[in-house]
Amino acid sequence: MSWYKKAKIIIALPEELDRASDYSDPVEQFDWIENYTSRRNWNKLGLDREQKLNAKRIRDMAYDLKIESNVDAIEKASEDMAKKVLPKSILIPIPSSSGSTGPNVALANAIAKKTGSRVVDILGRSAAVMPLHQRRKERGIRNIEKLPHNMILKTDERDVLLRHVSSGGRIYLIDNVITSGYTINAARKTLNLPNVVGLAYAKA
């Protein structure tokens, strides 16, 4: 079973494109989004030219979000993602494969302003890792659960998170784009807290 099917992950597509809402099962919703944003599945889904352009726009903006200084992309994505966030939540940026949280901190800050939430930049990596898609391609790895993620807590703020969830608060793990859900699930295991949900703009 894929990691995303084990984890609680929300994909925040623009509302006008989110046909996944036609599915009541979260796994079916996720699968539809994966197919929609994957170029190789466009013909299979019977997408017309406008729908293909919209799908391409989603993919392009998801990757634009990896650039911390891309203010326009961050603002637009944060509007869509904020609609999925409960007010006064805690937002935790996911570190990139290099260990940097810069782009996701910028995205989380924009979401926080719209939801009255708080950003806690607590996650990092003990060492950089090869991006998952590259590791799969170069090493032919199929069982991603056995891959090292090097995820660590870089600040001592876990007590803050515990008090938040103890009072019924929600924690969101913020990522610009996900491939399999592996990194978000690794973050959830590192935090070892209940009531934690992954939130990404799009599925690569």
Is the pTM higher than 0.85? The answer reads no
pLDDT band, very low/low/confident/very high, at 42 (cuts 50, 70, 90):
low
Q: What is the 3-state secondary structure (H, E, C) of 123-137?
A: EEECCCCCCHHHHHH
Topology of 3-203 in CATH?
Rossmann fold (3.40.50)
Sole residue written with tokens 């090493």: 139
pLDDT band, very low/low/confident/very high, at 87 (cuts 50, 70, 90):
very high
In this predicted structure, what is the pLDDT of residue 63?
75
What mean pLDDT do residues 97-122 have? 94
Phi then psi for residue 197, to 5 deg, are -125, 135
Percent of the chain residues topping a pLDDT of 70: 66
Beta strands in 126-181 (DSSP E): 151-153, 171-178
Phi then psi for residue 124, to 5 deg, are -150, -165
In this predicted structure, what is the pLDDT of residue 1?
35
Give dist(CA 6, CA 3) in Å, integer.
Answer: 5
